Amino acid sequence: MRKFLGLLAISIILILAACGGGSSEASGNNDSESETVTIGYFPNLNHAPAMVAKQKEMYKDHLGENVNIEYQTFPDGATFMKALAAGEIEGGLVGPGPAMNSFISGVEAQIIGASSTGGTVIVSRDGSGIKSWEDVEGKTFISPRVGCTHNVQFETYMKERGITSERTGGSMKHVTGEPARYQSMFENGDVDVATAPEPWASVMEAEVDANVVIPTSEISFGKTLPAAVMVTSDDMVENNSEQVQKLVDAHKEAVQYINDNPDEAIDITIDGIAEITDQQLEKSVMENAWERTNFTYEVNADVIQEFGNSSHDLQFLKEKPDFEGFVNKTFIQ
């Protein structure tokens, strides 16, 4: 049944027009005889391993000279997962929320590692009057997408304290937008609260005096949930497991490099984000964001299930999810 749903999802994706906001770039051997592997990621801090692996040519080193490496960046996780389902990318980094939602919808994908934990911060607009979670009732908050990782973290935290969104009969108004544009939305007074992945929370603290309402250490799943996971398709695992292993080995090398060389990794990440967003971040801002993030490739299947249960409780999912077969730790061991 899941295979049928996966094929159906791919068919729909191929019919619909592609979402904008992304970009692609190639590196490696341009010989027409060579194979191409496309890796997806976002311009967020928790995707730093992809930027480091790209800059240091780690994917190329592990996959070999006869493989062309291409990179595709995405504005949000839903668009990323559509590309994976359609076979436009072989794998990459995405938030666990979109990965779970796609898996449940029938897309044949697997989590094969993590990228980082932490890095989600809830900030309020200066002048909004919001200093703590009690002040958020009736206000407007923004997340990258409905039901995305940061959205679920925030709404889980708020529901535990008796405040819910209009979507479920509560008072909080919800809009969506790309994190790189949060600052301008704060400046224009369009939103009151942002569920901000780093480094964008630190950017808004520095540039528009945003207030930290819920820190990374307190937000739901902030210490345990991967802020980004490495995913690939069932087809890749079943038919090209050697290549999947090489991708994971490059990713593990990048994570280790980040932990061993944080100062250089910060510089690489600043340049990588600027390349995609045309925003050159101050190093002090990135250093602040870095302190809220823990880079690791280890992933806990139980935490993924707990997060999925919370998504169901918040009515993002119609049925309680079963993630059997979703987390594959074979390649990171």
Residues 237, 96 share a domain:
yes
Same domain? For 113 and 257 the reply is: yes
Domain contains 233: yes
What is the model's pTM? Answer: 0.82
Cβ burial 286-320 (10 Å sphere, 16+ → b, else e):
bebbbebbbbbbebeeebbbbbbebbeebebbeee
Question: What is residue 26's predicted lDDT score, i.e. its pLDDT?
Answer: 54
- The reply to whether 60 falls in a domain is yes
Same domain for 300 and 176: no
Q: What is the pLDDT of residue 5?
A: 43
For residues 311 and 144, what is the distance between their CA atoms, to the nearest angstrom? 16
Determine the Cα–Cα distance for residues 257 and 269; give it in Å rounded to an integer.
13
Q: What confidence score (pLDDT) does residue 243 get?
A: 97
CA angle (286 as vertex; 284, 292 as ends), nearest 5? 115
Domain that holds residue 292: 36-117+226-314
Query: Which residues on adjacent β-strands are paired with residue 230?
Result: 93, 113
Q: Are strands 140-143 and 173-176 parallel, antiparallel or unpaired?
A: parallel
Contact 332, 112 (CB under 8 A): yes
98 found inside a domain = yes
Interval 184-229: pLDDT, tens: 999 999 999 999 999 999 999 999 999 999 999 999 999 899 999 9
Specify the CATH number for the domain of residue 145. Answer: 3.40.190.10
Q: Are 190 and 48 part of one and the same domain?
A: no
Judgement on whether residues 96 and 64 belong to the same structural domain of the protein: yes
Considering the domain architecture, whether residues 101 and 138 belong to the same structural domain is answered as: no
CA gap 100, 262 in Å, rounded: 30
Q: Is residue 292 part of a domain?
A: yes
Q: Does residue 264 fall inside a structural domain?
A: yes
Q: What pLDDT, on a 0 to 100 scale, did the predictor assign at position 25? A: 58
Percentage of the chain modeled with pLDDT above 70: 90
* Cis previous bond, 199, omega within 30: yes
What's the pLDDT score for residue 24?
A: 54
- 233-271 pLDDT, tens digit per residue, is 999 999 999 999 999 999 999 999 999 999 999 999 999
Reported as a single tens digit per residue, the pLDDT across 36-86 is 999 999 988 999 999 999 999 999 999 999 999 999 999 889 999 999 999
CB neighbours of 178 closer than 8 A, spacing ≥ 6?
Answer: 21, 75, 76, 144
Instruction: Determine, yes or no, domain membership for 187.
Output: yes
Euclidean distance between CA atoms 13 and 7, whole angstroms: 10
Strand 23-27 relative to strand 67-73, pairing: antiparallel
111 shares its domain with 127:
no
99-128: pLDDT as tens digits: 998 999 999 999 999 999 999 999 999 999
Q: Which of 214, 236, 257 is the last residue of a domain?
A: 214
Give yes or no: residues 129 and 201 share one domain: yes
pLDDT tens-digit map of 176-189: 999 989 999 999 99
Strands across the sheet containing 67-73: 23-27, 67-73, 35-41, 91-94, 226-233, 109-118, 293-295
CA distance linking residue 169 with residue 165, whole number of Å: 7
124 and 113, same structural domain?
no
Q: Is residue 16 part of a domain?
A: no
Are 111 and 124 found together in one domain? no
Same domain, 258 and 287: yes
Mean pLDDT of 157-174: 98
Are residue 148 and residue 98 in the same domain, yes or no? no
State the Cα–Cα distance between residues 299 and 14, nearest whole angstrom: 31
The H or E element spanning position 121 is strand 120-124
CA–CA dist 170, 148 (Å, integer) = 19
In a domain, 322, yes or no: no
Decide if pLDDT at 9 tops 60. no
Nearest to 10 by CA among 89, 116, 93, 95: 89
Q: How confident is the model at residue 18 (pLDDT cuts 50, 70, 90)?
A: very low
Domain count, the chain: 2
Answer yes or no: is pLDDT of 7 > 90.
Answer: no
